[in-house]
Amino acid sequence: MTRSSKPILPGATVGVLGSGQLGRMFAIAARRMGYRVYTFSPDTDTPTGQVADLEVVAAYDDLDAVRKFARDVSVVTFEFENVPAATAAAAEQFAPVRPGGDVLHITQHRLREKTFLSQNGFPVTPFRTVKTVENLRAAVTSLGLPSILKTAGFGYDGKGQTLLTSLAQGEEVIAGVNGQEMILEAFVDFEREVSVVAARGEDGSFSHWGVIENAHRHHILDLSVCPANVPPEVTREAVDITRAILEKLNVVGVLCVEFFLARTGQLLVNELAPRPHNSGHLTFDANITSQFEQQLRAVCGLPLGSTQLLRPAAMVNLLGDLWENGEPNWAAGLAHRDVKLHLYGKMEARPGRKMGHLTALAETPEKASQLARQARDALQDRTI
């Protein structure tokens, strides 16, 4: 364990780089505990800005603005990992940045992330670096088809990913990215996708919310259920791997590890996210301490809170597609008293855009999942 510095107490100001829904829920948790919240991003009237004390609007590469922002806060954290490393470095001149900029540097780039995991003995999908057509041909020969070709940097929600079924398809992708570095990953025949959201304090303390089971639609998270339907030994292994990753990266804050559970029973790390995660949204309603409050506690050097699950829970995302035929039927969706609505304050509903989510609580994970889906379906009933 490392020795903690003096904790940052309620009444202090916390700075958030990024201004989306993760920052919004973080700001709600922070303000509830008596902190002030400043947010920094290039946008205005943002999900985070609507509930923060101050919304600073500037480009991430405006380093003078970043330095001024950091001077006015006691600690800086992230809600969005695709912030330039130079931005984190500039902020760090005037305030602690948690997790550190080095964590951000590794996790915002798929190739650096996979290399870090592989070199440190963590189980990952076989991968190869691809910069040229010749690299691609060699990688396909090594890994076979189908395989997944991904841009190396700044990807999320399936962006920058292509399922390759032929070499010609991959050559076409390479021709269209203007020499951009890419990564080819072997195709994994997985049974299910799961994640572990965890937190680590400055003193090395560790907490987690168990294993969460995830289902995606069009590469975007659709449904998360906790606890996941996996054997106890899988839960133990997933948590052990997650803890080891947080310790190796020296994370102070929250980090999510996304896994494939192969049909063989093997866990493979798919991606890391150095901040609260979409799959952990259900913790806002289902656990004593949410991922957002825990992020605040960790980055401020406070003791971590209990992550006990109060009831099994399921979360479904609400995408902009729901608004296609007009405003959703909120009364119908909330007709069940065990369903909670979270809307993010985004002004424009676009297909595929995350506008909010529903969390359902029930006696079992299966009942919670069924209830969450039913509530979302009811939002589309315009006859009531």
Q: What per-residue confidence (pLDDT) applies to 285?
A: 98
Residues of the chain with pLDDT under 70: 1-4, 154-159, 383-384
Task: Tell me: do 318 and 213 sit in the same domain.
Answer: yes
> In whole angstroms, what is the distance from residue 211 CA to residue 198 CA?
10
Predicted confidence (pLDDT) per residue in 152-164, tens digit? 876 555 567 899 9
**Residues spanned by the domain of 30:** 13-107
Q: What per-residue confidence (pLDDT) applies to 2?
A: 39
Cβ neighbors of 318 (< 8 A, separation 6 or more) are 328, 343, 354, 355, 356, 357, 358, 376, 379
Task: Tell me: do 34 and 101 sit in the same domain.
Answer: yes
Task: Tell me: do 364 and 232 sit in the same domain.
Answer: yes
| pTM for the whole structure | 0.95
Task: Tell me: do 339 and 368 sit in the same domain.
Answer: yes
Task: Tell me: do 19 and 168 sit in the same domain.
Answer: no
Task: Report how far apart, in Å, the C-alpha atoms of 83 and of each of 7, 80, 278, 381 are.
Answer: 26, 7, 18, 40
1 in a structural domain: no
Q: What per-residue confidence (pLDDT) applies to 177?
A: 84
Q: What per-residue confidence (pLDDT) applies to 176?
A: 86
Task: Tell me: do 267 and 141 sit in the same domain.
Answer: no
Which amino acid, one-letter code, is at 93?
Answer: Q
Q: What per-residue confidence (pLDDT) applies to 1?
A: 36
Q: What is the domain count for the chain?
A: 3
**What DSSP assignment string belongs to 202-233?**
TTS-EEE---EEEEEETTEEEEEEES-S--HH
Task: Tell me: do 273 and 295 sit in the same domain.
Answer: yes
Q: Which of 186, 201, 218 is the last residue of a domain?
A: 186
114 in a structural domain: no
Task: Tell me: do 162 and 25 sit in the same domain.
Answer: no
Q: What per-residue confidence (pLDDT) applies to 157?
A: 55
What is the CATH classification number for the domain harbouring 232? 3.30.470.20
Predicted confidence (pLDDT) per residue in 312-365, tens digit? 999 999 999 999 999 999 999 999 999 999 999 999 999 999 999 999 999 999
117 in a structural domain: no
Closest CA to 14 of 203, 315, 253, 243: 253
